[in-house]
C-alpha cells in the first residue's frame, strides 16, 4: 500500500470537507450514500465535483454492484486525513505556540507485517517515524484459525481495527516513555497512525554479533520483568521489535549496545487470563534467539511470571492506566484479532521457526502488496504539501 502524497497539495478546502464527510459517514455506513456525503459536508454546491476529484485520486471509491449510489473511504483517503491532521499546528503541552507534528515526509524505511513505516521530520528537523497501521494485510494463508472471522471483515472494519491499534500503541508508549522505559518517544497519533521518535539503530535481527551476549540477554530479560512489574506484557518481544542502538565511547572505543523496544498494539495486562503464557512466550523468544543466533545459553532458568508480578505495586500499574487488554475482562475486537493473528514471529510461516529462515531483514510478509507492486521503492523522498523545499533526504542506518 503505497503512500502517494502527490495529490495532497491539489486538494481544495471543499475537497477536504467532503473527504471528512465520507469518513464521518463511514462510522455507520459501509457505503456512504451520496446524499449523506452532501449533507455531512455542509456544502450545498460543488459536492459532486469534489467527489469525482477524490475518487479520481483514489481517496474514496465506488463499490461494485452496490444497491445504491455511494462511496467508501479508501486507506489512501484515511492516510490523507491523518497526514492532514499531523501537518496542522497542534497545541502542545510543552510548547506555547502550536506546531505541526510533521513538517516533511521522507522515505519508507520499513514494511512491517501490518504496518508501513516512514521517516518524517518535525518543523525543527527532528527525525521522526510515521507508523501507519494496516491491519488486515497479512496473508491469510498463514492464519490457521478463524479464517472466516478475518475474511468476512469489511474494509471499514479493518480501518476501525487499525485505529484501535494506533490508539492503543500511542497510549502504551506514552506511559512507558514517561516511566523511563527504553521506548521511542511518542509524539502524536491520528486515526490509524502514530508518530514517534526515530531510533537510529538496527533491529536485533540484523545484528550479526554481540560482544557480550550475556549482558544484552540479561538486560532484555530484565526488561520483560520490569514490564510485568508494572502490569504489562509486551506480547511480541522478538528480534524485529527490539532495536539495538550502538554507541561508541570516544576514549576507549568501547561499543555499547542498548535495546529500545517498539511495536505495542498487542500488549496485554498481567491480569489477562493467558498472561503467563504471553510472558513465557516473550521470555522463550529471546532465549531461543540468543541460542540460535549468538550460541548463547544462560545458566539461569526463568525469569518466571509469578516472581515478576509478585512485588508489583497495585498503585503503579500501567495496565490500569492504559486499560490494556485483559484488565477489564472485556475482550475488545482488537484483542480478539491479536489473539487470532499473533505477533511478528508467528503467522509469517506455517511452522515454528520457519518465519526466520525464510526471510532476511524482517521487511517481508507483505506478499499481497508486493505482488500488486504497491510497495514504495523508488527511494525518493516526498514532502508534505507546502513544506520543505526539495524534500531533503534524511539519512539513517537501516536504509542501505
Which positions lie near ligand ADP, rule CB under 6 A?
110, 112-115, 117, 129, 131, 184, 196-199, 203, 240-241, 243, 262-263, 344, 362, 398
Q: Is 238 in the site for Mg ion (CB under 5 A)?
A: no
Question: In angstroms, rounded to a whole number, what is the distance separating the alpha carbons of residues 68 and 173?
Answer: 43
Region for 136 from its dihedrals, namely left if φ exceeds 0, alpha if ψ lies in -120 to 50, beta otherwise: left
Q: Which stretch binds Mg ion (CB under 5 A): 16-24, 188-196, 242-250, 262-270?
A: 262-270
Q: What backbone phi and psi angles, to 5 degrees, belong to 269?
A: -80, 150
Q: Is 344 in the site for Mg ion (CB under 5 A)?
A: yes
**345 contact choice in Mg ion, ligand ADP, none (CB below 5 to 8 Å, kind-dependent):** none
Q: Across the chain, where does the E strand assignment appear?
A: 32-33, 60-62, 70-73, 104-112, 115-121, 127-133, 186-190, 193-197, 202-203, 232-233, 242-248, 255-261, 268-269
Q: What backbone phi and psi angles, to 5 degrees, belong to 118?
A: -120, 150
Q: How far is the CB of 379 from ligand ADP (least distance, A)?
A: 16
Q: Which is nearer to ligand ADP, 374 or 385 (by Cβ)?
A: 374
**Total number of residues that touch Mg ion (CB under 5 A):** 5
Helix (H) or strand (E) holding 277: helix 275-294
Q: How far is the CB of 277 from Mg ion (least distance, A)?
A: 20
Binding test (CB under 5 A) with Mg ion, winner from 74, 104, 229, 241: 241
Q: How far is the CB of 43 from ligand ADP (least distance, A)?
A: 37
**160 contact choice in ligand ADP, Mg ion, none (CB below 5 to 8 Å, kind-dependent):** none
Residue 181: C-alpha distances to residues 11, 176, 192, 222, 316 (Å) = 41, 5, 24, 11, 14
Q: Is 236 designated active site?
A: yes
Q: Which of 15, 79, 116, 236 is catalytic?
A: 236
Question: In angstroms, rounded to a whole number, what is the distance separating the alpha carbons of residues 351 and 61?
Answer: 38
Residues 6+ apart with CB under 8 A from 233: 224, 227, 267, 268, 269, 270, 272, 275, 278, 279, 282
Q: Is 263 in the site for Mg ion (CB under 5 A)?
A: yes
Q: How far is the CB of 344 from Mg ion (least distance, A)?
A: 4
Q: Which is nearer to ligand ADP, 57 or 117 (by Cβ)?
A: 117
Q: What backbone phi and psi angles, to 5 degrees, belong to 146?
A: 55, 35
Question: In angstroms, rounded to a whole number, what is the distance separating the alpha carbons of residues 82 and 78?
Answer: 6
**326 contact choice in ligand ADP, Mg ion, none (CB below 5 to 8 Å, kind-dependent):** none
Q: Locate cell 499531523: which residue? A: 86
Closest CA to 199 of 247, 244, 237, 239: 244
Q: How far is the CB of 184 from ligand ADP (least distance, A)?
A: 4
Q: Locate cell 539513517: which residue? A: 396
Q: Which is nearer to ligand ADP, 37 or 135 (by Cβ)?
A: 135
Q: How far is the CB of 306 from ligand ADP (least distance, A)?
A: 29
Q: Which is nearer to ligand ADP, 219 or 361 (by Cβ)?
A: 361
Distance of CA 344 to the CA centre of its chain: 12
Q: Which is nearer to ligand ADP, 7 or 260 (by Cβ)?
A: 260
Q: Which is nearer to Mg ion, 25 or 398 (by Cβ)?
A: 398
**362 contact choice in Mg ion, ligand ADP, none (CB below 5 to 8 Å, kind-dependent):** ligand ADP
Known catalytic residues are 236
Q: Give residues in contact with Mg ion (CB under 5 A).
A: 112, 240-241, 263, 344
Amino acid at each position: 500500500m503505497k503512500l502517494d502524497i502527490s495529490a495532497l497539495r491539489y486538494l481544495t478546502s471543499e475537497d477536504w470537507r467532503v473527504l471528512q464527510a465520507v469518513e464521518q459517514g463511514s462510522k455507520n455506513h459501509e457505503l456512504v450514500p451520496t446524499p449523506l456525503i452532501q449533507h455531512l459536508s455542509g456544502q450545498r454546491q460543488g459536492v459532486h465535483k469534489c467527489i469525482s476529484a477524490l475518487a479520481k485520486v483514489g481517496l474514496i471509491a465506488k463499490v461494485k454492484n452496490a444497491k445504491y449510489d455511494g462511496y467508501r473511504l479508501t486507506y489512501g483517503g484515511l492516510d490523507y486525513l491523518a497526514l492532514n491532521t499531523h501537518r496542522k499546528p497542534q497545541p502542545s503541552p510543552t510548547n506555547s505556540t502550536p506546531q505541526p507534528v510533521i513538517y516533511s515526509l521522507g522515505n519508507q524505511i520499513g514494511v512491517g507485517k501490518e504496518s508501513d513505516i516512514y521517516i518524517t521530520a518535525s518543523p525543527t528537523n527532528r527525525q521522526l517515524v510515521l507508523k501507519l497501521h494496516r491491519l488486515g494485510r497479512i496473508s491469510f494463508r498463514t492464519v490457521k484459525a478463524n479464517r472466516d472471522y478475518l475474511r468476512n471483515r469489511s474494509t471499514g472494519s479493518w480501518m476501525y481495527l487499525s485505529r484501535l491499534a494506533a490508539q492503543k500503541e500511542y497510549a502504551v508508549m506514552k506511559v512507558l516513555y514517561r516511566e523511563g522505559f527504553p521506548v521511542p518517544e511518542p509524539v502524536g497519533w491520528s486515526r490509524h497512525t502514530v508518530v514517534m521518535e526515530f531510533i537510529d539503530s538496527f533491529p536485533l535481527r540484523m545484528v550479526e554479533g554481540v560482544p557480550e551476549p550475556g549482558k544484552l540477554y540479561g538486560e532484555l530479560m530484565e526488561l520483560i520483568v520490569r514490564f510485568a512489574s508494572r502490569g504489562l506484557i509486551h506480547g511480541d518481544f522478538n528480534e524485529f521489535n527490539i532495536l539495538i542502538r550502538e554507541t561508541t565511547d570516544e576514549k576507549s572505543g568501547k561499543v555499547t549496545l542498548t535495546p529500545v523496544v517498539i511495536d505495542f498494539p498487542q500488549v496485554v495486562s498481567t491480569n489477562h487470563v493467558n498472561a503467563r503464557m504471553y510472558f513465557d512466550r516473550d521470555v522463550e523468544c529471546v532465549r531461543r534467539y540468543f541460542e540460535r543466533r549468538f550460541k548463547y545459553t544462560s545458566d539461569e532458568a526463568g525469569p518466571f511470571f509469578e516472581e515478576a508480578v509478585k512485588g508489583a505495586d497495585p498503585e503503579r500499574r500501567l495496565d490500569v492506566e492504559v486499560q490494556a487488554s485483559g484488565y477489564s475482562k472485556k475482550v475488545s475486537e482488537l484483542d480478539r484479532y491479536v489473539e487470532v493473528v499473533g505477533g511478528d514471529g508467528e503467522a509469517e510461516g506455517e511452522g515454528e521457526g520457519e518465519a526466520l529462515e525464510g526471510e532476511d531483514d524482517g521487511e517481508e510478509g507483505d506478499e499481497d502488496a508486493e505482488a500488486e507492486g504497491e510497495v514504495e521503492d523508488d527511494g525518493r523522498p516526498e514532502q508534505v504539501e507546502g513544506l520543505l523545499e526539495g524534500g531533503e533526504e534524511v539519512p539513517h542506518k537501516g536504509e542501505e
